[in-house]
């Protein structure tokens, strides 16, 4: 057996190049600021909110991964469109296999690579080296360790979009294990 991270990732990256990192652990809140001061720099606000949405997506995934709950409404808090569909697909596979993930959430340090438009950004692209070395797969029925193969580092990019005042990850992709 391989870890869900390794097994699902090979499938997702190999077939669609839209890798997904499953994870679990105690979620850390990454609140999205709902109000800005009238003189707030829109570029700084976009940077802050897009990073918060990206981190929130992985925290939501980590929490849902603890029980492989692909119906968890929190998954849609920070992700939508392709990003949300991939998270749900991976969690459905985990649930079907009787697996849960523990040891997360991943270590994240995203940086902004582009913003559009430049004056009042509503689309932000992020890059990250997502570190998931602590994530392990466990049997849902017994809690026993499935295997001890940890995840690792993957170069990840994400597109985060602001719509109606809310920032969400709409798409992401990850390179092969060890790519960063």
Task: For residue 110, name the pLDDT band (cuts at 50, 70, 90).
Answer: very high
Query: Is pLDDT larger for residue 175 or for residue 8?
Result: 175
**pLDDT of 134:** 83
Contact 136, 144 (CB under 8 A): no
What are the sequence ranges of the domains in the chain? 4-174
**pLDDT of 37:** 55
Q: For residue 62, how far is the Cα from the chain centroid? A: 8
Alpha-helix runs per DSSP H in 98-172: none
Using the predicted structure, report yes or no on whether residue 31 has a pLDDT greater than 80.
no
The percent of residues above 70 in pLDDT, for the chain, comes to: 78
User: What is the architecture, at CATH level 2, of domain 4-174?
Assistant: Roll (3.10)
Burial of 178 (0-12, 13-18, 19+ CB in 10 A): exposed
**pLDDT of 9:** 36
What angle, 0 to 180 degrees and rounded to 10, lies between the N-to-C axes of helices 81-97 and 42-65?
10
Using the predicted structure, report yes or no on whether residue 77 has a pLDDT greater than 50.
yes
Q: For residue 20, how far is the Cα from the chain centroid? A: 7
Query: Is pLDDT larger for residue 107 or for residue 27?
Result: 107
Alpha-helix runs per DSSP H in 66-149: 75-78, 81-97
Using the predicted structure, report yes or no on whether residue 24 has a pLDDT greater than 90.
no
Q: CA dihedral defined by 35, 40, 46, 50, rounded to 10 degrees?
A: -50
**pLDDT of 38:** 60
Whole-model pTM: value is 0.79
């Amino acid at each position: 057996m391989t870890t869900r991270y390794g097994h699902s990732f090979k499938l997702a990256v190999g077939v669609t190049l839209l890798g997904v990192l499953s994870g679990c652990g105690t979620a850390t809140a990454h609140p999205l600021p709902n109000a800005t001061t009238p003189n707030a720099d829109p570029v700084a606000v976009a940077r802050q909110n897009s990073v918060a949405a990206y981190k929130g997506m992985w925290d939501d995934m980590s929490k849902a991964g603890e029980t492989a709950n692909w119906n968890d409404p929190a998954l849609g808090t920070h992700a939508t469109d392709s990003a949300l569909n991939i998270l749900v697909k991976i969690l459905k596979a985990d649930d079907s296999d009787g697996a849960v993930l523990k040891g997360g959430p991943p270590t994240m340090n995203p940086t902004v690579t582009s913003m559009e438009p430049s004056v009042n950004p509503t689309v932000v692209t992020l890059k990250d080296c997502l570190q998931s070395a602590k994530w392990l797969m466990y049997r849902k029925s017994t809690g026993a360790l499935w295997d001890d193969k940890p995840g690792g580092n993957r170069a990840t990019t994400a597109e985060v979009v602001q719509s109606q005042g809310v920032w969400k990850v709409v798409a992401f992709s990850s390179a092969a294990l060890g790519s960063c």
